[in-house]
C-alpha cells in the first residue's frame, strides 16, 4: 500500500528531509501494520539527520509513535486488529503515515491515555524512568541537578523526581523557560545563560554538591557539571544537544572526589521485553496517577518535520514535540 514518510538521502541540516510517497508491504512474521496517529520528535532524530550518529543512507527517520494495528503478521500473539499501541524503539521509521513494527516492541495504550500523550510518553518517559530508577536511584531527600529543565526530558524529569521526594535544581537559558520549569517540579532554576551554575549549586547545597547530575546538554556544560557533584557523586551524561563531549580523562573523576561517570542509552535499558514492560509500565502508572503530565507544547504536520527540527535545535521549543500524520 502507498503511504508517506520523511526520508533523507544525505546527512545535513533540516533541509535534507523530504516528504516522500513510499510503499509499505504486508506485515511479515512477528510484525504489525500500524496506521499512525501521532509521532514523537526527539533530539536523537537530529543526530541521525546530521550524521552525528551515522546511519545507512537513504534512511527513514524517527523512533517513537502511536498508532492503530490494522493487520497482524504470522505468529503475533497478544494483539488484535484495532488495538492502540505505542513504541519507542528501532527500527527507525516513525516519521510516516503507516509503518511496520515488530510486535515485540509495541505496548498497548490504556484507554485513559490519548494518542498524542501515548506517542510522546514512550521515549522521553522511559528515558526518565531508567535515569531516575535504574541509572541512579533517586530517593526522598536527595537534591539533584537536571540541565535543560524546560525541554522535553527536563519537564518529565522535574515532575517525576519531585514525586519521588527529591529537591530538584534545574538549569534553563531564559526566564520564561525557568518559570515553566518551576511549574514542573523544580524548586530552583538557574538561568545558566547569565548565572554560574556551579556556584549556585554549591550555594543551594551549602557547599556539598549534588549526588547526581543529569546532563543532556553535553559539550557546553562539560566539565562544569562534574564540579557540581558531591564526593562519590554520579555524572549521568545522557545527551549532546550542544555537541558531544571530548574524551574523558579519568583523573578528572578521581581529583573531583572519586566520581562515577555513565553515558546511558534508552535502548540498553529497554532491550528485553521484561525491561520494556517494566519501563513503559512505570511511565503509564505515573501518568494515570497524575504524577506525570506529558507537555506537548508544539505540534506540526508530518510534512513539516524539518521545521520541528529547526525549532528544536534553535532552542525555541519547550516540553515535547509531536508530528501529526
Ligand atoms: P530538549 O527539548 O531538552 O531540547 C534540548 C534543550 O537543550 C534545548 O531546549 C536547550 O534548553 C538545551 N540546549 C543547551 N545548549 C544547546 C544547544 N547548543 N543547542 C540546542 N539546545 C541546547 O530535547 P529532548 O528532551 O528531546 O532531549 C534532551 C537531551 O536528552 C538530548 O541531548 C537528547 O539526546 C537526550 N536524550 C537521551 C536519551 C538517552 O537514552 N540517552 C533519550 C532521550 C533524550 P535551554 O535553552 O534551556 O538551554
Please give the full DSSP string across 250-267, using - where no structure is assigned. HHHHHHTTS-EEE---HH
Nearest CA residue ID for atom 11, ligand 1: 148
**Do 147 and 99 reside in the same domain of the chain?**
no
Residue 284: its H or E element: helix 273-288
Asked whether 193 lines ligand 1 (CB < 6 A), one says no
Asked whether 266 lines ligand 1 (CB < 6 A), one says yes
**Do 155 and 204 reside in the same domain of the chain?**
yes
Does residue 287 lie in a domain region? no
**Do 15 and 116 reside in the same domain of the chain?**
yes
Atom of ligand 1 nearest to the CA of 317: 9
Distance 313 CA to ligand 1 centre (A): 8
Does residue 282 lie in a domain region? no
**Do 133 and 155 reside in the same domain of the chain?**
yes
Does residue 66 lie in a domain region? yes
Parent domain of 159: 125-266
Rounded to whole angstroms, the Cα distance separating 28 from 73 reads 5
Does residue 289 lie in a domain region? no
Does residue 232 lie in a domain region? yes
Reported as a single tens digit per residue, the pLDDT across 61-92 is: 999 999 999 999 999 999 999 999 999 999 99
| Burial 3-34, CB ≥16 within 10 A → b, else e | bbbbbbeebeebebbeeeebebeebeebbbbb
Average pLDDT over residues 29-41: 98
**Do 176 and 92 reside in the same domain of the chain?**
no
Does residue 285 lie in a domain region? no
**Do 162 and 191 reside in the same domain of the chain?**
yes
Q: Residue 251, exposed/middle/buried by CB under 10 A (0-12, 13-18, 19+)? A: exposed
Reported as a single tens digit per residue, the pLDDT across 309-321 is: 999 999 999 999 9
**Do 226 and 310 reside in the same domain of the chain?**
no
**Do 316 and 202 reside in the same domain of the chain?**
no
Altogether, the residues listed in the chain come to a count of 325
Q: Domain with 59 in it: what CATH number?
A: 3.90.180.10
- For the whole prediction, is pTM greater than 0.95? yes
Place of cell 494483539: 79
Q: Domain with 236 in it: what CATH number?
A: 3.40.50.720
**Do 116 and 11 reside in the same domain of the chain?**
yes
Does residue 278 lie in a domain region? no
Domain boundary among 251, 266, 281: 266
Average pLDDT over residues 210-229: 98
What total number of domains does the chain contain?
A: 2
- Provide the grid cell at 16: 535534507
**Do 191 and 258 reside in the same domain of the chain?**
yes
**Do 129 and 259 reside in the same domain of the chain?**
yes
The predicted pLDDT at position 26 comes to 97
Asked whether 130 lines ligand 1 (CB < 6 A), one says no
Reported as a single tens digit per residue, the pLDDT across 137-164 is: 999 999 999 999 999 999 999 999 999 9
**Do 134 and 255 reside in the same domain of the chain?**
yes
Amino acid at each position: 500500500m502507498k503511504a508517506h514518510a520523511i526520508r533523507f538521502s544525505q546527512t545535513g541540516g533540516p533541509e535534507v528531509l523530504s516528504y516522500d510517497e513510499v510503499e509499505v508491504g504486508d506485515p511479515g512474521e512477528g510484525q504489525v501494520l500500524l496506521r499512525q496517529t501521532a509521532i514523537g520528535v526527539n533530539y536523537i532524530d537530529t543526530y541521525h539527520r546530521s550524521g552525528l550518529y551515522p546511519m545507512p543512507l537513504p534512511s527513514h527517520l524517527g523512533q517513537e509513535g502511536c498508532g492503530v494495528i490494522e493487520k497482524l503478521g504470522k505468529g503475533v500473539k497478544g494483539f488484535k486488529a484495532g488495538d492502540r499501541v505505542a513504541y519507542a524503539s528501532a527500527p527507525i521509521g516513525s516519521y510516516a503515515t503507516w509503518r511496520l513494527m515488530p510486535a515485540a516492541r509495541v505496548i498497548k495504550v490504556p484507554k485513559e491515555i490519548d494518542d498524542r500523550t501515548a506517542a510522546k510518553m514512550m521515549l522521553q518517559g522511559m528515558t526518565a524512568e531508567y535515569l531516575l530508577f535504574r541509572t541512579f536511584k533517586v530517593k526522598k531527600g536527595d537534591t539533584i541537578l537536571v540541565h535543560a529543565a524546560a525541554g522535553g526530558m527536563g519537564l518529565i524529569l522535574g515532575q517525576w523526581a519531585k514525586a519521588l521526594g527529591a529537591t530538584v535544581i534545574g538549569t534553563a537559558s531564559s526566564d520564561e523557560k525557568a518559570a515553566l520549569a518551576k511549574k514542573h517540579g523544580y524548586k530552583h532554576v538557574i538561568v545558566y545563560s547569565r548565572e554560574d551554575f556551579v556556584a549556585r549549586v554549591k550555594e543551594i547545597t551549602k557547599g556539598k554538591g549534588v549526588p547526581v547530575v543529569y546532563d543532556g546538554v553535553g559539550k557546553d556544560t562539560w566539565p562544569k557539571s562534574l564540579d557540581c557533584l558531591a564526593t562519590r557523586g554520579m555524572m549521568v551524561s545522557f545527551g549532546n544537544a550542544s555537541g558531544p563531549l571530548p574524551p574523558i580523562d579519568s583523573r578528572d573523576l578521581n581529583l573531583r572526589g572519586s566520581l562515577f561517570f555513565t553515558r546511558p542509552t534508552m535502548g540498553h535499558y529497554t532491550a528485553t521485553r521484561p525491561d520494556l514492560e517494566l519501563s513503559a509500565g512505570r511511565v503509564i502508572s505515573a501518568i494515570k496517577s497524575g504524577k506525570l503530565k506529558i507537555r506537548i507544547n508544539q505540534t506540526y504536520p508530518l510534512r513539516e518535520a524539518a521545521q520541528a527540527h529547526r525549532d528544536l535545535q534553535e532552542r525555541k521549543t519547550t516540553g515535547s514535540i509531536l508530528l501529526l500524520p
